[in-house]
Structure 1
């Protein structure tokens, strides 16, 4: 008569040969004789699993484990059956126990984790399994790479990066691993990321995505030439890489090559016509090229694909406003909050004002964006007070003295952290950001006629500055306040004019100059003075923080010549003569193709005829200044008398600085 062990071997032979009925009968006889025999329970469980009787199979193997929990196969096979039944959490425990009993079982444990990561189904269980596997085989780089993937699915990017770094240390010559690490580190700050990228490129230089990452690193660091080279290398390997074309365009924009950026983005849009991000970037490039109508088309195309794309919604608004489509533009301008403060609650708890009567309650108007924007939108406050709206204005603390003097019917409160308690007092019935006022008050071009200069400079400081300037000399040289620089990272390249170029142009027209530009320019000013150019920095005046003093300094000049910065807005709001020098694609607030501003009647706009052409602008300014000052100017190397016979290309400015020797004025100006 056969022993139990011999009977098991015979039954297993039947099972292997496909004689399942004979095997099952023999397993039953063994279990009748020895009811809790673990090997028989385990093997009969596997037999039932072959017949798709998975629940019964699991029950038998669980009984086998109760009898002997030290056999790795029992736990491993039970885990496999539980996974097949969809019971993945207990399956995880079984597979981990099997691997702890036999470290070679790390391989099926890793496979189980990868299946959990497929489509991100259960990354939490994958993490548990992989951490257990790493405990058993800490030097296996593949396990760490897979754990990094699980952590990524769980939103734990920093621990995932740490695991990839450990894997790279364990397998320093693995190009695929280094590529994965490099692509992740490619947008991380610090030397480690760049070193990883360069190491990966040495091992795998034909990988376009690595060149793309390297280009991005250079771009973020401001190394535009290096970024351009990296993107070109990537495109040489993958000419159909839409993302590479898109990124190359962003570098070209930063380098001032608007036409090249447009061409690159058109290629990117052709390669990926459904990409809302590329369409949005193409729209931005068209705005920079001074083509707002086409930019609007691209913004609409981007929003057709991704209606909630915040950048495209804001781009659409600025294009509409640039085109003078004010009703649509101001409505769309409300989308700026999706870009500037996504997901943040309003700054103040009071209900948003939509133009309804407020009774005895006050309206809180709070300044937003930059100082220039606050000055621009504050021009609408007199319209509110004239309509009987009681206003409390929160503004940049540097503007508070100037606005308090200029808007006596408005209670002005300086912006502080935390906000002034008056801004949450019960008498405030509603609140509105100042940039939302045009939506209610400037629905069409005719509405702008209600705007008037509203700023009032400190008369005592203005008079003192005029006295300190001294009388104009007998040749009637005008005193021109100048500003030429902005630190805005996006617009600086297209707006800034070199000080020597501006100063020499105005000097050629016989102007005296006073600096209105904040910052340390003493060296450049001294160098120009050494050339015999009459230019001065106002002594003892902080042009950045003493904005009330800046207003007085502006009012004490005959004319302001400035780029698009806060000086332009302040001069315009004072009603002071201002010549604003604009790039070819000026900001939306200056509209397009017109020499005047509906916001500031005293401003005259000089626009670049082509991107980067400040020479033509400065020639026009020099000639115009000679024309109205009655002198002889040097334009293009030739002396020109100011009395030209034809009409000027733009209307002459109004000079009324109140100085002892003002420039000549046209009949009827006032």
Structure 2
């Protein structure tokens, strides 16, 4: 096979999504002609998509060695270095790419993301704005600028830009006009989910406002959340499948997570979620038998392992359980999934209550939370549920928190009963857990004195 045929075969395989096979063809092409920079460029991009970061770095290093003025290679090298957590070096690569090609919106956008992680917030804002100056329809830059504003507490401005996410994710488009804030008097609207459980729990606060404005509201939500909503006897219909929907019934559709960008105020009543009375009573009896008067604390130490930031937001059980030395507490496990087994293996049954095996959905979890004195959790859906129920919640945050938790503050705009415990050193949970244990000891002692 001729060299040009090998390259063309590799390109065709890449276009069809067969990335591993495509990479093999480009390796063959490089072996035949190791002096062609564009071959390393193609291979490096494929290796990024395959999460082979070290090999990708070598490829872009070869491009730069062969073609020192290759702005695109510096941009991709920045992408690799940022992924490997070499942020200062990544910033240098992005700056070099922009120096070589000033009108390079993608590199400016990437540099903005890097500068945000480096806590250079004003420079990050300018990078995003410059990217949008060169390419106004670069919606990823709009979205990232929105998350920056939200992180900085500029909520109204942030939500407007955050809503750009729907235009660059095709799967969210529907054959119903998207609601842009028009009057809903006499009209029906479909509110649909498009992010994770925690995101939906966060923005349910705005659904009652829509229900008060429209003739009819249907909420299309994930199955594990459905019973929680239905048991509250809401003034809207709840469904979990597109098979239950007829587009002709709706005047508008809107993502639940777009509501903050469309409503005149971000204020909302809390609590706005609660447990059904029967479920609440069932768990009251179970916990009363187990607690023997102890202070009841629900715990979650790990999130969904598929989450892109899970390695930063989750805590190992061995480290988390050091808090269990605090006396006067019944520790109630709300952790589901693979991590649940570590709690089950713990050897202090008199002080540990494993509720997780019965948590079939969020309605069941709400029944437990309603009977607790406190919830301590990492950034997960359970923390959102507890906050939305108005339950006292202590949230443990990594050094670089998600945008909604903003910066430095210990209180939370979204959940008045929530207290934030932040890492002061990146990756160091031990200091956070020590502060939590100290605060918990004080809280339990104060509760005992009051009684």
Partners in 2 of 1:398 and 1:481 — Cα distance? 20
Partners in 2 of 1:219 and 1:280 — Cα distance? 18
Question: Cα–Cα, structure 1 residues 272 and 532, in superposed 2: closer, same or farther, change >3 Å?
Answer: farther
Q: Would you say the 8 A contact 1:289–1:584 is kept in 2?
A: no
Deviation track 1:411-452 (CA, whole Å, cap 9, x = no partner) reads 23213122434x743xx5544332232234354xxx53x432
Partners in 1 of 2:44 and 2:440 — Cα distance? 46
Higher Cα radius of gyration: 1
Aligned to 1:635: none
Question: Cα–Cα, structure 1 residues 607 and 398, in superposed 2: closer, same or farther, change >3 Å?
Answer: same
Q: Would you say the 8 A contact 2:132–2:142 is kept in 1?
A: yes
Instruction: Return 315-324 or 258-267, whichever deviates more.
Output: 258-267
Partners in 2 of 1:534 and 1:260 — Cα distance? 48
Partners in 2 of 1:262 and 1:509 — Cα distance? 44
Question: Cα–Cα, structure 1 residues 558 and 310, in superposed 2: closer, same or farther, change >3 Å?
Answer: same
Shift of 1:490: 2.7
In the alignment, is residue 394 of structure 1 matched against residue 394 of structure 2? Answer: no
Q: Would you say the 8 A contact 1:186–1:197 is kept in 2?
A: no
In the alignment, is residue 573 of structure 1 matched against residue 388 of structure 2? Answer: yes
Partners in 2 of 1:620 and 1:459 — Cα distance? 35
Deviation track 1:37-72 (CA, whole Å, cap 9, x = no partner) reads xxxxxxxxxxxxxxxxxxxxxxxxxxxxxxxxxxxx
Q: CA RMSD in A?
A: 3.3
Partners in 2 of 1:224 and 1:531 — Cα distance? 43
TM-score (norm 1): 0.60
Aligned to 1:352: 179
Aligned to 2:255: 433
Of structures 1 and 2, the one with the larger relative CO (CA 8 A, separation 6+) is 2
Matches within 5 A, 1:168-567: 168=1, 171=2, 174=3, 178=6, 181-182=9-10, 189=18, 191-341=20-170, 345-349=173-177, 352=179, 354-356=181-183, 358=185, 360-385=186-211, 391-406=217-232, 408-421=233-246, 424-425=248-249, 430-441=252-263, 443=265, 447-448=266-267, 450-469=268-287, 470-472=289-291, 476=294, 478-504=296-322, 506-510=323-327, 511-527=329-345, 529-530=346-347, 535=352, 537-538=354-355, 540-543=357-360, 546-567=361-382
Partners in 1 of 2:123 and 2:376 — Cα distance? 31
Partners in 2 of 1:335 and 1:515 — Cα distance? 38
Question: Cα–Cα, structure 1 residues 291 and 610, in superposed 2: closer, same or farther, change >3 Å?
Answer: farther
Q: Would you say the 8 A contact 1:472–1:478 is kept in 2?
A: yes
Partners in 2 of 1:253 and 1:493 — Cα distance? 15
Which runs of 5 or more structure 1 residues have no equivalent in the other structure? Answer: 1-167, 631-642, 644-662
TM-score (norm 2): 0.86
Partners in 2 of 1:347 and 1:553 — Cα distance? 40
Q: Would you say the 8 A contact 2:95–2:111 is kept in 1?
A: yes
Paired positions, count: 448
